Amino acid sequence: MPLSANNPDRRSWLDVPENSDFPIQNIPFGVFLTRDDIITIGTRIGDTAIDLGALHQLGYFQGIELTDDIFLQDSLNDFIADGRKTWRLVRNRISEIFMKDNPVLRDHEEHKTRVLFTMDEIEMQLPVDVGDYTDFYASKEHATNVGSLFRDPENALMPNWLHIPIGYHGRSSSIIPSGTSVRRPVGQTKPGDDGVPGFGPTKLLDFELEMAFITTASNDLGKRIPIDEAEDYIFGLVLFNDWSARDIQAWEYVPLGPFLGKNFASTISPWIVTLDALEPFRVAGPAQDPKPLPYLQQQGKKNFDIKLQAIIKPEGKQETVVCNSNFKYMYWSMAQQLAHHTVNGCNVRSGDMMGSGTISGPTKDSYGSMLELSWRGQNPVPLADGSSRKFIQDGDTVILRGYSQNDKIRIGFGDCSGKVLPARKL
Amino acid sequence: MPLSANNPDRRSWLDVPENSDFPIQNIPFGVFLTRDDIITIGTRIGDTAIDLGALHQLGYFQGIELTDDIFLQDSLNDFIADGRKTWRLVRNRISEIFMKDNPVLRDHEEHKTRVLFTMDEIEMQLPVDVGDYTDFYASKEHATNVGSLFRDPENALMPNWLHIPIGYHGRSSSIIPSGTSVRRPVGQTKPGDDGVPGFGPTKLLDFELEMAFITTASNDLGKRIPIDEAEDYIFGLVLFNDWSARDIQAWEYVPLGPFLGKNFASTISPWIVTLDALEPFRVAGPAQDPKPLPYLQQQGKKNFDIKLQAIIKPEGKQETVVCNSNFKYMYWSMAQQLAHHTVNGCNVRSGDMMGSGTISGPTKDSYGSMLELSWRGQNPVPLADGSSRKFIQDGDTVILRGYSQNDKIRIGFGDCSGKVLPARKL
């Protein structure tokens, strides 16, 4: 099916500010509350939110096989379960409705009143009901940095790392949409000289700059997804901040992995940008040596060029970009992650979320966490207001941003932001 | 509220075979498909399944605040979210309806036809839609055995183990009800001399004898559940077989924990036995030294005396009990697990499931996995048919059973069983 919505020369009759993340070539999907407190599925062009539930009721999706209430839901799970062909038909149709020369909605004032909202009239929600959330560890630079800091710089990568897209299960209940505050977590830390573990608010609160992809229902339990079909099961991506409490994590994580050091909150950007919209930004990934086992061998350009930033904004102060990274640095691709995740027969459902792990690049300003940027606190990171940070302080807002750009279009994700509140009283 | 349903002298007008797991003092909750292919929530007395959706429609729950469709659902999540007071009212009412001297339903043939089913007329389903599944590692004997086998017998327990109920996140999509077959998983294993990882069906397929508790919605994100309130948030328990592929697990699990070695399947018994029904079987847990931090200090009898068995049944052959353990051996109690899980503000939802980890006792015949029973294959376990097992073979059915018993009553869980199918073709 042609991806006509990707036509880079198309323009919308809706206003799209310069450098907007949301030109008519993006057409992401999200869930929002409208001014009338109705929850609906929508998309966004420029700074206009579009109510797809209302559009569907008004007949604009005629000819596409959709249930009547597919967009009148509090999550995208059912729509995502409809599969890639339906996503493409709907995205192409939305693009047609809003392209410059199409007068049908453009000139229908009453319909526009029902369908269009300014961004301050709506409140973004979680876009999916996440069944299972898995976090990978797929950036070689990040794994090397962490291995150097916590284990042995000479043998920073574990022996399995170059053979397996290492991943583990995370907590889905505490995934929250951008704009939700995060309370500094409390927990146990390594014992001091008296042998008694510490207890209190984390002193080493960190962000992790990640992306996450959202899957459609796919394999039955016991079957696997072959790597050359894996991308058919990926609906789209969001920015993902995997908040981490390094002192809690360090004390708890052997031998079963991170738990309370991670599961207090994970923030996502609320608009899911489809894999289709990112198609023009495919690039080759890093060379893989040794060659992966056959079930992980992928043809073609397996990575995506998405510029990524992490920003710290102290309360009442200006922003500082502390990290410039790129999704293309991922050693293991999304398709490799999904093929690996299901090779044992593990089933994947519509709305499942798979994080990339921290995305660090080769240079020091591209490291995707404070742990790496400050090298475990040895090199405080200077901020624009004159202060500096080893880790994240109360009142700080951490913002992730990401976009792909070529000479014609820019496809972005909007903000993935969360402000840190002080720990609750003990 | 009095637990009148626990009255040990009460008898039912329904037939209860000797040594049944389901006397009128049990009243577990489950979800089943009826002969008319209708899905409903039900309970069980003896070998009779009881349709609670039909009972409610017929007015038998009058006076209890319940929505009309609370039992006409494909999961118990909403009922569990109604909270402990409602669970108790409903369980007490069911007990009254079925006690020997109550003629209302007993003598109403038409109502009985609509409400009662023999076990072969129904098909048990998953009782809850599991949001998040967490697995703990709370048996000291199991942690010591595994530490001895994989690491150092002199320092078998990790330094954190006596301070933290160690846990990690598992996969909820692959939790299946008793009776569902399990396909032998395929995956990567440690490289041989050529440095290339192995790939193929696991050679070390294992069971893990566990129990799991199911929670109700509780704390908001950022708040915690204090230990003295933790049991209010536990609806009940099931038997839990955490199938494991030891060779896949051994290669993948450092540093982020088990993943594909575990997430291909976990089998649960389909009836949730309420914590209330197990109240008569409270016992003290093991002494805890060193004393846990204050947020983990629990008063009173914190464990439950539940006899547990693991059984292997080769295809077409008789059963062999290979393990006799007990839930009372748990070092960390369920309340301690839940208090720990939320101390950092992690939120818990209705229908979440928390596994105990393998429950091994102090003697060799009480070890809860083949890894420990055969001591990593060194001591094959003899079976009644004359064969022996180091690990689980294709065609074997693994059955977990569990019950509490005193001189008056026996409260059990029924079977948690799964047959192993050969790996799919590569």
- Which fold, B4-124? SH3 type barrels. (2.30.30)
Find all residues with CB under 8 Å of A57, minimum gap 6, and list them: none
Residues in B closer than 8 angstroms to A223, CB to CB, are 424
Q: Which of A142-156, A401-415, B4-18, B48-62 comes out lowest in average pLDDT?
A: A142-156
Radius of gyration of chain A (CA): 22
Per-residue pLDDT for A1 more than 80?
no
The single-letter code of the amino acid at B346 is C
- Note whether B60 and B48 are within 8 A (CB): no
If you write DSSP's letter for every residue of A10-29 in order, what string do you get? --BSS---TT-S--TTT--B
- Is residue B137 exposed (0-12), middle (13-18) or buried (19+ Cβ within 10 Å)? buried
Residue A266's pLDDT band, with cuts at 50, 70 and 90, is very high
**What number is the average pLDDT over the span B164-179?**
98
Cα separation values, B178 from A121, A320, B228, B238, B400, Å:
49, 54, 33, 11, 10
- Residue B135: per-residue pLDDT: 98
- Dihedral of CA B283/B289/B294/B295: which sign? negative
For residue A139, give how far its alpha carbon lies from the nearest alpha carbon of chain B (Å).
14
Residue A80, token pair as written in the block: 């995502």
A163–B191 C-beta distance less than 8 A: yes
Select from A172, A199, A257 the Cβ nearest to the Cβ of B293. A199
B259 touching A, CB under 8 A?
Answer: yes
B313 touching A, CB under 8 A?
Answer: no
Residues of B serving a catalytic function are: 142
Please give the span between the terminal C-alpha atoms of chain B, in angstroms, as a whole number.
57
A170–B169 C-beta distance less than 8 A: yes
**What number is the average pLDDT over the span A263-277?**
98
Ligand-binding site membership of B229 (annotated) = no
If you write DSSP's letter for every residue of B231-266 in order, what string do you get? GGGEEEEEEEE--EEHHHHHHH-TTT---TTTTT-E
Domain(s) labelled CATH 2.30.30.230 in chain A stretch across: 4-124
- Residue B278: per-residue pLDDT: 98
Residues of A serving a catalytic function are: 142
Whole-angstrom distance, CA of residue A234 vs CA of residue A338 = 9
For residue A130, give how far its alpha carbon lies from the nearest alpha carbon of chain B (Å).
8
**What number is the average pLDDT over the span A157-173?**
97
**Which residues 346-375 of B have a C-beta within 8 angstroms of A?**
346-349, 352
B250 touching A, CB under 8 A?
Answer: no
Q: What chain B residue is nearest to A133 in terms of C-alpha separation?
A: B171
**Could you read off the pLDDT of B257-287 as tens digits, one per residue?**
999 999 999 999 999 999 999 999 999 999 9
Whole-angstrom distance, CA of residue B96 vs CA of residue B82 = 21
Look over chain B and give the mean of its residue pLDDT values, rounded to a whole number.
Answer: 97
- Residue A54: per-residue pLDDT: 97
Residue A386's pLDDT band, with cuts at 50, 70 and 90, is very high
CA A111 to chain centre: 33
Helix (H) or strand (E) holding A370: helix A370-373
B192 touching A, CB under 8 A?
Answer: no
Residue B132, token pair as written in the block: 């998040």
Per-residue pLDDT for A307 more than 80?
yes
Whole-angstrom distance, CA of residue B7 vs CA of residue B401 = 24
Residues in A closer than 8 angstroms to B160, CB to CB, are 197, 251-252, 254
Whole-angstrom distance, CA of residue A359 vs CA of residue A402 = 12
B191 touching A, CB under 8 A?
Answer: yes
Cα separation values, A3 from A62, A78, A85, A88, A165, Å:
19, 22, 11, 7, 30
Select from A158, A171, A187 the Cβ nearest to the Cβ of B169. A171
Whole-angstrom distance, CA of residue A292 vs CA of residue B13 = 64
- Any idea what DSSP says for residue B155? G
Strand order in the sheet with B30-33: B116-118, B48-51, B39-45, B30-33, B123-124
From B62, B59, B51, B37, select the one nearest B112 (Cα to Cα): B51
The single-letter code of the amino acid at B238 is V
Q: Which of B137, B152, B169, B425 is the best mutation test for A, with the most CBs of A within 10 A?
A: B169
B170–A169 C-beta distance less than 8 A: yes
**Which segments of A are annotated as binding site?**
135, 137, 151, 208, 210, 242, 249, 253, 262, 266, 358
Q: How many CA atoms lie within 13 A of B100 on its CB side?
A: 8
- Dihedral of CA B326/B327/B328/B330: which sign? positive
Per-residue pLDDT for A219 more than 80?
no
Q: Which residues of A107-130 are buried (b: 16+ CB within 10 A; e: fewer)?
A: eeeebeeebbbeeeebbbbbbbbb
Is the bond leading into A103 cis (omega within 30 degrees of zero)?
no
Whole-angstrom distance, CA of residue A133 vs CA of residue B415 = 30
Residues in A closer than 8 angstroms to B248, CB to CB, are 344
Task: Give percent of chain A above pLDDT 90.
Answer: 96
Overall size of chain A counted in residues:
426
Residues in B closer than 8 angstroms to A158, CB to CB, are 254-255
A13 touching B, CB under 8 A?
Answer: no
Alpha helices in B18-165, H assignment, sequence order: 52-57, 77-81, 84-98, 103-106, 109-115, 140-150
Cα separation values, B57 from B125, B167, B293, Å:
21, 42, 49
Residue A426's pLDDT band, with cuts at 50, 70 and 90, is confident
A248 touching B, CB under 8 A?
Answer: yes
A208 touching B, CB under 8 A?
Answer: no
B203 touching A, CB under 8 A?
Answer: no
Task: Give percent of chain A above pLDDT 70.
Answer: 100
- Residue B217: per-residue pLDDT: 86
- Residue B250: per-residue pLDDT: 95
From A136, A263, A197, A135, select the one nearest B158 (Cα to Cα): A197
Whole-angstrom distance, CA of residue A159 vs CA of residue A169 = 21
- Residue A390: per-residue pLDDT: 98
Domain(s) labelled CATH 3.90.850.10 in chain B stretch across: 133-421
- Residue B377: per-residue pLDDT: 95
For residue B420, give how far its alpha carbon lies from the nearest alpha carbon of chain A (Å).
11
Task: Give percent of chain B above pLDDT 70.
Answer: 100
- Residue B270: per-residue pLDDT: 98
In this prediction, does ipTM exceed 0.90?
yes
A46: left (phi over 0), alpha (psi -120 to 50) or beta: left
A193 touching B, CB under 8 A?
Answer: no
A137–B256 C-beta distance less than 8 A: yes
Per-residue pLDDT for A138 more than 80?
yes
Find all residues with CB under 8 Å of A184, minimum gap 6, and list them: A201, A202, A205, A394, A420, A421, A422, A423
Tokens 């966004």 correspond to A44
Q: What chain A residue is nearest to B176 in terms of C-alpha separation?
A: A221
Per-residue pLDDT for B64 more than 80?
yes
**What number is the average pLDDT over the span B315-337?**
98
Select from A186, A224, A253 the Cβ nearest to the Cβ of B343. A186
A148 touching B, CB under 8 A?
Answer: no
Whole-angstrom distance, CA of residue B98 vs CA of residue B10 = 10
- Note whether A129 and A75 are within 8 A (CB): yes
B254–A221 C-beta distance less than 8 A: no
The correct CATH number of B133-421 out of 3.90.850.10, 3.20.20.220, 2.60.120.200, 3.40.630.30 is 3.90.850.10
Ligand-binding site membership of B276 (annotated) = no
Residue A113's pLDDT band, with cuts at 50, 70 and 90, is very high
Q: Beta partners for B220?
A: none
Select from B196, B256, B293 the Cβ nearest to the Cβ of A166. B256
- Angle (nearest 5°) at CA A384 between A383 and A385: 95
**Which residues 114-143 of B have a C-beta within 8 angstroms of A?**
131-132, 137
Look over chain A and give the mean of its residue pLDDT values, rounded to a whole number.
Answer: 97
From B140, B133, B113, select the one nearest B48 (Cα to Cα): B113
Per-residue pLDDT for B151 more than 90?
no
B84: left (phi over 0), alpha (psi -120 to 50) or beta: alpha
- Any idea what DSSP says for residue A221? T
